[in-house]
Amino acid sequence: MLVALAFPELETIACDYFIDALADPDFALKVRERSPANLDSAFRLTLQMEVWTKNADRIQNEQPKHFAKKVRKVMRTASLIKTNEELRKQVTECRIS
């Protein structure tokens, strides 16, 4: 800790190395854009953003499944309506004949 007080630029260098060591360059850029003041804030920011990213990915992966079910349901309903209309036409034609 005394080293950080004696050489404040080491904190900045450590922060830069930490951000550079992140596996995903896009994620590292997002962290760097937030301009963390020190290594501790960079670490906390990284953890927070990682949780947000995983949560957003989870929600995004669940959404298409739910959407696909609705699409199938609507298509099935539309198919039933079309079949119902065709049957009504046939019944009407039979009554007329």
Mean pLDDT per block of 10 residues along the chain (97 residues) reads 71 89 91 90 92 86 63 67 79 77
The pLDDT assigned to 44 comes to 93
The pLDDT assigned to 19 comes to 92
The pLDDT assigned to 33 comes to 94
- Domain residue limits at 37: 2-96
The pLDDT assigned to 84 comes to 76
Alpha-carbon Rg of the chain, whole angstroms?
30
Q: What does the alpha-carbon distance between residue 19 and residue 28 come to, in Å, rounded to a whole number?
A: 6
Count how many domains the chain has: 1
The pLDDT assigned to 60 comes to 78
Q: What does the alpha-carbon distance between residue 44 and residue 73 come to, in Å, rounded to a whole number?
A: 44
The pLDDT assigned to 49 comes to 92
- Under 8 Å CB-to-CB from 91, ≥6 apart: which residues? none
Largest CA distance in the chain: 103
